[in-house]
Amino acid sequence: MLTKRDRIAGYKALEEVFKTRRANIARFKEVAGSWNDLARLCGQSPQLLVNIAGPNPNRSISERLARALEDALQLPAGWLDQRH
């Protein structure tokens, strides 16, 4: 059984991954020019991208979505999870 300390450490590690994904997606938005342009490249809605990586994100970037974005942007699996 995990201790409270282990659970907290796990949550912090997961939040760090979400933060890294958000930063990487925001950087792609800057390169693409706008959320609409990035959405066209990714095959996702602009609103979803704003909700996960905009100025006030209110959704986490799930594993499934992260891999789908990587596929759409022709990136290797796990790329969004790493700082660049």
User: Each residue of 1-45: pLDDT tens digit?
Assistant: 668 887 788 888 889 999 999 999 999 999 999 999 999 999 999
Q: How far apart are CA 42 and CA 46, in angstroms?
A: 10
Residue 35 sits in a domain whose CATH number is 1.10.260
How many angstroms separate the Cα of 46 from the Cα of each of 4, 9, 51, 69, 83? 38, 32, 9, 13, 23
Closest by CA to 28, choosing from 56, 64, 53, is 53
- Cβ neighbors of 18 (< 8 A, separation 6 or more) are 60, 61
Q: Is residue 72's pLDDT more than 70? A: yes
pTM equals 0.83
Q: What is the pLDDT of residue 68?
A: 94
Q: What is the pLDDT of residue 1?
A: 65
Q: What is the pLDDT of residue 10?
A: 80
- How crowded is the C-beta side of 48, counted as CA atoms within 13 Å? 12
Residue 51 contacts residue 21 (beta carbons within 8 Å): no
Domain assignment of residue 15, given as a range: 4-81
How many structural domains is the chain composed of? 1
